[in-house]
């Protein structure tokens, strides 16, 4: 999967269809709505969960493209940081050391 190509396709589709590409705040609100829909599908054990998660990813990748962020690179960097972190368990929760 080539995130850069997907990010571009998502924004191209938004432009073609006349969707918002100027109001980033609005895009974040739509993203939150999609996360909510995914959570609802999860809670109901609904078969639409995969599709709802795809919507979340599409909005996130679209926002990244609109902001000029290479999300694939950022994810790779963040995973390295996360993998190198050390945690301890306190009362059942992992706490960063």
Considering the entire predicted model, what is its pTM?
Answer: 0.90
* 52/50 Cα distance (integer angstroms): 5
* 3/73 Cα distance (integer angstroms): 9
Domains identified in the chain, total number: 1
Question: CB of 3 within 8 A of CB of 74?
Answer: no
69-95 pLDDT tens trace: 999 999 999 999 999 999 999 999 999
28-56 pLDDT tens trace: 999 999 999 999 999 999 999 999 999 99
Domain that holds residue 90: 3-96
Helix axes 71-84, 49-66, angle to 10 degrees: 110
Question: CB of 63 within 8 A of CB of 31?
Answer: yes
* 61/9 Cα distance (integer angstroms): 10
* 3/72 Cα distance (integer angstroms): 6
Query: What CATH number corresponds to the domain at position 9?
Result: 1.10.287.1080
CA angle 41, 45, 47 (to 5 degrees): 70
């Amino acid at each position: 999967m080539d995130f850069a190509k997907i990010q571009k396709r998502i924004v191209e589709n938004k432009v073609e269809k006349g969707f918002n590409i100027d109001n980033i705040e609005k895009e974040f609100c739509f993203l939150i709505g999609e996360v909510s829909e995914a959570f609802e599908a999860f809670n109901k054990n609904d078969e639409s969960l995969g599709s709802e998660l795809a919507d979340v990813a599409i909005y996130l990748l679209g926002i990244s493209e609109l902001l000029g962020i290479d999300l694939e690179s950022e994810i790779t960097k963040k995973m390295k940081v996360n993998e190198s972190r050390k945690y301890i368990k306190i009362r059942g929760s992992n706490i960063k050391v």
